[in-house]
């Protein structure tokens, strides 16, 4: 019966949800499918739905009889139980406290934001990094986000240019304001159906589900950030920022609210080489970075990020240019002229919106 529930939930999943699930490891896929089933059940489906299937089957794998008798996510009692779920998150709190401590000496473009003192690796970062290079476009983007006449923004750009890294810079700059936001709420593509909330009065972070912290988002001075996924609630007075690749499914609803689109530019070679020196020096040879730049252009993920990871896993191929071009070859092999044309058109439109 779980398979039937999963199949029905999958049929109602958004394109983004399907991409996230397909791109995850097997163990994570099961967790994400379970979350998808709960989301579908909460939508008020009938007995033939995932909720009905789950009830007929009784407690699922790894659950207990108490789980079966507890209020479900589709019920009023279940919704109330979900709202009381938020718990103190030690790692996120440690990260935010370190960011707050840097407010007197913010890293400038070309410098590095270092998280090694707070957490072994960045919270929610799938690359398991502990250092963030500050791009020269980051301060300009933040200045645009401070526009008092707008409260809803989309930050987009070529995948791999540093949009998710900007998320950590944005947190740093918000905490460094003369009057930091009373609440900073965020969601992240790597943790579907989760939401974090930083409360400045206590300097603590609590984690709940996507129904949590709606009251905090009613504050005009709160900030609500969604990285790689659509914001779950667009009808709040808080400042809203969606950080995403050019995927219309992610930001379509925000466009309807007159959100302003900002485009993060690709890297120049000089900037990439400076980042290599600061963050990747020993793992990505300078000559290799230059050669990859001529093929991939200013996309740090493919010029620095992936080569560094692959060098760690296969040192013998660390300096092999052909080996590092496999991603480009696979992409070209699976693309058509029409797809490339649509992509170029999207990039031109995005570029026009960068500083409009």
Percentage of residues in the chain having pLDDT higher than 90: 44
Residue 53 CB neighbours (<10 A): 22
Q: Which of 143-147, 230-234, 235-239, 281-285 has the lowest mean pLDDT?
A: 281-285
**pLDDT value, residue 247:** 80
Enumerate residues 6+ apart whose C-beta is below 8 A from 307.
283, 284, 288, 289, 292, 318, 324
Residues 6+ apart with CB under 8 A from 111: 134, 278
Give yes or no for residue 305 having a pLDDT over 80. Answer: yes
pLDDT at site 114: 85
The mean-pLDDT minimum among 136-150, 206-220, 249-263, 315-329 falls in 315-329
Which pLDDT value is given to residue 62?
39
The alpha-carbon radius of gyration of the chain (Å, integer) is 22
Buried/exposed 158-194: b ≥16 CB within 10 Å, e otherwise: bebbbbbbbbbbbbbbbbeeeebbbbbbbbbbbbbbb
Tens of pLDDT, residue by residue over 192-202, are 889 999 999 99
Query: Options 3.40.50, 3.10.20, 2.60.40, 3.10.590; which CATH number does 87-263 get?
Result: 3.40.50
pLDDT by residue (tens digit) across 71-125? 333 334 444 444 558 999 998 998 899 899 888 889 999 999 987 665 556 777 7
Q: In this structure, are residues 60 and 93 in contact, taking their beta carbons and an 8 Å threshold?
A: no
Q: Look at 184 and 74; give whichever has higher pLDDT.
A: 184
Q: Which residues, in sequence order, are CB contacts of 156 under 8 Å at separation 6+?
A: 163, 243, 244, 245, 246, 251, 261, 262, 263, 264, 350
DSSP assignment string, 56-117: HH-S-TT--HHHHHSPPTTSHHHHHHHHT--EE-HHHHHHHHHHHHTTTSPPPTTSEEE-TT
Question: Does residue 53 or residue 155 have the better pLDDT?
Answer: 155
Q: Give the start-to-end residue ranges of the domains of the chain.
A: 87-263, 269-353
Q: What is the mean pLDDT of residues 255-272?
A: 93
Those residues whose C-beta lies under 8 Å from the C-beta of residue 280, and which sit 6 or more positions away, are 304, 308
pLDDT given for residue 67 in this prediction: 38
Cα 30 from Cα 5, distance rounded (Å): 13
Rounded alpha-carbon distances, angstroms, from residue 122 to 95, 113, 301, 306: 8, 11, 17, 17
**Environment class of 54 (CB within 10 Å of its CB; exposed 0-12, middle 13-18, buried 19+):** buried
Look at the chain and count its residues: 356
* Residue-level pLDDT at 70: 37
What's the pLDDT at 129? 74
The β-bridge relationship of strands 204-208 and 152-156 is unpaired
Q: What does the pLDDT read at residue 329?
A: 65
């Amino acid at each position: 019966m779980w398979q039937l529930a999963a199949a029905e939930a999958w049929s109602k999943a958004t394109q983004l949800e399907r991409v996230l699930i397909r791109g995850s490891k097997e163990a994570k896929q099961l967790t994400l499918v379970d979350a998808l089933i709960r989301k579908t059940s909460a939508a008020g489906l009938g007995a033939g739905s995932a909720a009905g299937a789950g009830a007929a089957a009784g407690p699922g794998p790894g659950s207990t009889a108490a789980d079966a008798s507890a209020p479900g996510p589709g019920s009023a009692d279940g919704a109330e139980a979900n709202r009381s779920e938020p718990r103190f998150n030690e790692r996120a709190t440690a990260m935010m406290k370190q960011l707050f401590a840097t407010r007197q000496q913010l890293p400038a473009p070309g410098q590095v934001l270092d998280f090694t003192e707070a957490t072994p690796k960045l919270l929610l970062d799938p690359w398991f990094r502990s250092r963030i290079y500050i791009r020269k476009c980051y301060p300009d983007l933040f200045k645009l986000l401070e526009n008092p006449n707008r409260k809803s923004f989309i930050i987009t750009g070529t995948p791999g240019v540093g949009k998710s890294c900007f998320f950590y810079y944005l947190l740093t700059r918000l905490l460094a304001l003369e009057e930091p936001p009373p609440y900073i709420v965020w969601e992240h593509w790597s943790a579907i159906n989760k939401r974090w909330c930083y409360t400045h009065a206590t300097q603590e972070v609590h984690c709940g589900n996507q129904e949590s912290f709606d009251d905090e988002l009613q504050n005009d001075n709160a900030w609500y950030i969604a990285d790689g996924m659509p914001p779950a609630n667009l009808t709040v007075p808080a400042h809203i920022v969606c950080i995403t690749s050019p995927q219309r499914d992610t930001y379509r609803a925000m466009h309807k609210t007159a959100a302003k689109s900002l485009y993060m530019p690709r890297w120049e070679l000089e900037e990439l080489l400076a980042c290599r020196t600061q963050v990747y020096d020993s793992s990505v040879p300078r000559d290799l970075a230059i050669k990859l730049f001529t093929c991939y252009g200013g996309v740090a993920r493919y010029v620095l990020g992936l080569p560094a990871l692959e060098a760690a896993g296969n040192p013998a191929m660390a300096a092999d240019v052909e080996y590092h071009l496999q991603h480009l070859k696979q992409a070209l092999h699976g693309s058509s002229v029409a797809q490339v044309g649509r992509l170029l058109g999207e990039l031109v439109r995005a570029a026009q919106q960068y500083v409009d």
